[in-house]
Amino acid sequence: MKLKLFPALWLTALLAGCSGTGPALPPIPEINTTGMLPPVQQQIEQAVKEVQDSPRNAAANGRLGVTLLAYEEYDTALGYLQRAATIDRDDYRWQFYFGYALAKVNRHDESLQPLRAAADLEPELSGINIVLAQSLDAVGRADQARKQYERALATDPARGDARYGLGKLLQAAGDTDAAIEQFERTLADGGDSGLVHYALANAYISRGDSEKAEQHLQLQQRYKSVRIGISDPLLRTISSLKISDERYIREGKRLFDAGKVSEAAARFNKALELNPSNSTVHANLVGIYSVLQQPGLAEKHYRAATEIDSNLFDAHMNYATMLFQQRRLDEAVAAYRLAIDADPTNVEALVRLGFALGEQGNGGDSVPFLRRGLELDANHPLGNYLLGRQLVSDGQLRQGIVHLERSVTASHTRRSAVYLHELASAYQLDKQPGKALETLQRARQVAARYGSTAIKDVIEKEIEALQATDDG
């Protein structure tokens, strides 16, 4: 993420070799906050002031060091964490974070002593054993690393990162079957992860099972952005200190998915306060304010998003959907076209453009876009419904029925009653009254299930008319 640059801010504490009782301490490092957001600069300034006020306070030095870890300022963090670990050798936190920072800058040999000290002080925290195992493995001490992974799993059997690390060691040692067992358990306990699927693919290649290897390579592509799930209090402390728009974006998405739309809007706006140039946040707010029925704000964020990135799919798609709902069809069509320009293979955009063109009265123009969408997803319910309806209207009855049938083969949703009703009408046109009646009865059941009273009433009248015709 690009951060807006601010004038250089050098926070210098001239306290090297501070006087006072206790062990000699390394000098307090300088911190360069150039390029950091103003709230981050303020956060670090406050932490520096605490160290200046109490230079031999382990907690003050440690907090500043961990804060710097949150922003991946590992080299600078090292000095403060070393000071904290030196001042208070009995606090496992400062031993761990000092060792962790050393490992992050590939000083694995040096990381072993503080990490071992942390593990001795707090043997029940599996995260310490895992970082120690990783450093031991990095310096070629595989047997010792294996013991640390096993110790972590004895404490916390669900630690996927420990099981994955153990599996990698077993694979390197030639014990492919045992490695596969660990990788499979990692997936079973923590869900899919691209990293684990890739490890399994390599393990099955070693075993000579090309079919399973190919399966896991495909899964690796599907889940390549999904990491191994980790819940670690020590690492969570680091991430909790990071002031970032990403944090508010994650919270906003979680709240939106939970149906808390107003709260989601507040989180996304908080993200914009930190990074006003994040076009993705503006794009999300287009959709959120559309749901909240605040079109003015949705429009404002659409303009902001497209000024930053004129080719942003989500912005065009969310805006087009709002325009469609407002029946501003000409504008909706234009926005859907921009969305397709940004992502020509997006099925939803192709289908929605077809829908909007049909609502404009340009059903013939919708067909190429609907066909393109169905080439990418042959079973898309709305795409099949729209294309089937248009083909029936164009006199291509049998082809239309094929697509209408596909629209109702997937699991039923609220829209399925409409799709089934359209299919029943096509069957009637095709002189198939038996199929029409059966399909209308299915449509009535779906409408009743979802409480769709209006269409249910229409369907019941058509059923009565069809039955009366049969009786006659």
User: What is the pLDDT confidence band of residue 229, given thresholds at 50, 70 and 90?
Assistant: confident
State residue 116's pLDDT score. 98
- Report residue 337 as tokens: 């076209």
Q: Cα–Cα distance between 425 and 435 in angstroms, integer?
A: 10
CB 46 within 8 A of CB 67: no
Residue ranges with strand state E in 225-347: none
DSSP letter string over 218-238?
HHHHHTTTPPPP---HHHHHH
The more confidently predicted of residues 30 and 81 is 81
Q: What is the average pLDDT across 32-48?
A: 89
Of 286, 288, 299, 294, the C-alpha closest to 264 is 288
Q: What is the average pLDDT across 73-78?
A: 95
User: What is the pLDDT confidence band of residue 345, given thresholds at 50, 70 and 90?
Assistant: very high
Residue 14 has pLDDT above 60, yes or no: no
User: Where does 130-243 sit in CATH, by number?
Assistant: 1.25.40.10
CB 404 within 8 A of CB 388: yes
Q: Cα–Cα distance between 177 and 333 in angstroms, integer?
A: 56
Q: What is the average pLDDT across 317-328?
A: 96
Residue 16 has pLDDT above 50, yes or no: no
DSSP conformational letter for 11 = E
**How far from each other are the two terminal CA atoms of the chain, in whole angstroms?**
73
C-alpha torsion angle, residues 280, 285, 287, 293 (rounded to 10): -170
Q: Cα–Cα distance between 146 and 170 in angstroms, integer?
A: 9
Q: Cα–Cα distance between 128 and 156 in angstroms, integer?
A: 12
In the chain, CATH 1.25.40.10 covers 1-122, 130-243, 244-343
CB 418 within 8 A of CB 455: yes
pLDDT digits (tens, 9 = 90+) for 395-410: 999 999 999 999 998 6
Tell me how crowded residue 76 is: count the other CB atoms within 10 A of its CB: 19
Helices (H), 71-141: 74-87, 92-104, 108-121, 126-138
CB 332 within 8 A of CB 302: no
State residue 7's pLDDT score. 32
CB 72 within 8 A of CB 244: no
What architecture is domain 1-122? Answer: Alpha Horseshoe (1.25)
Share of the chain above pLDDT 70, in %: 94
Give long-range contacts, CB 8 A cutoff, 24+ apart: 451-457.
Answer: 452/414, 452/417, 455/417, 455/418, 455/421, 456/417
What Å distances lie between residue 351 and 290, 301, 405, 410, 418, CA to CA? 20, 25, 17, 17, 17
Q: What is the pTM of this model?
A: 0.63
Lowest mean pLDDT among 159-168, 182-191, 254-263, 363-372: 182-191
State residue 413's pLDDT score. 82
State residue 418's pLDDT score. 94
Of 57, 16, 63, 72, the C-alpha closest to 43 is 63
pLDDT digits (tens, 9 = 90+) for 295-307: 999 999 999 999 9
Q: What is the average pLDDT across 232-255?
A: 91
Q: What is the average pLDDT across 172-183?
A: 95
Lowest mean pLDDT among 17-31, 106-120, 381-395: 17-31
Q: Cα–Cα distance between 317 and 356 in angstroms, integer?
A: 13
One-letter identity of residue 107: R
Q: What is the average pLDDT across 174-186?
A: 95
CB 274 within 8 A of CB 259: no
Residue 20 has pLDDT above 60, yes or no: no
Residue 352 has pLDDT above 80, yes or no: yes
DSSP conformational letter for 22 = S
Tell me how crowded residue 203 is: count the other CB atoms within 10 A of its CB: 26
State residue 30's pLDDT score. 87
Q: Which CATH superfamily is domain 244-343 in?
A: Tetratricopeptide repeat domain (1.25.40.10)
Which of helix, strand or coil describes residue 32? strand
Residue 8 has pLDDT above 50, yes or no: no
Q: Cα–Cα distance between 185 and 165 in angstroms, integer?
A: 12
Q: Any idea how long the chain is?
A: 472
Give residue 419's Cα distance to chain centre.
Answer: 32
Which of helix, strand or coil describes residue 430? coil
DSSP letter string over 51-67?
HHH-TT-HHHHHHHHHH
Q: Cα–Cα distance between 3 and 277 in angstroms, integer?
A: 9
Q: Cα–Cα distance between 47 and 32 in angstroms, integer?
A: 14
User: What is the pLDDT confidence band of residue 18, given thresholds at 50, 70 and 90?
Assistant: very low
State residue 468's pLDDT score. 82
User: What is the pLDDT confidence band of residue 72, given thresholds at 50, 70 and 90?
Assistant: very high
| Residue appearing with tokens 């009565």 | 464
State residue 231's pLDDT score. 82
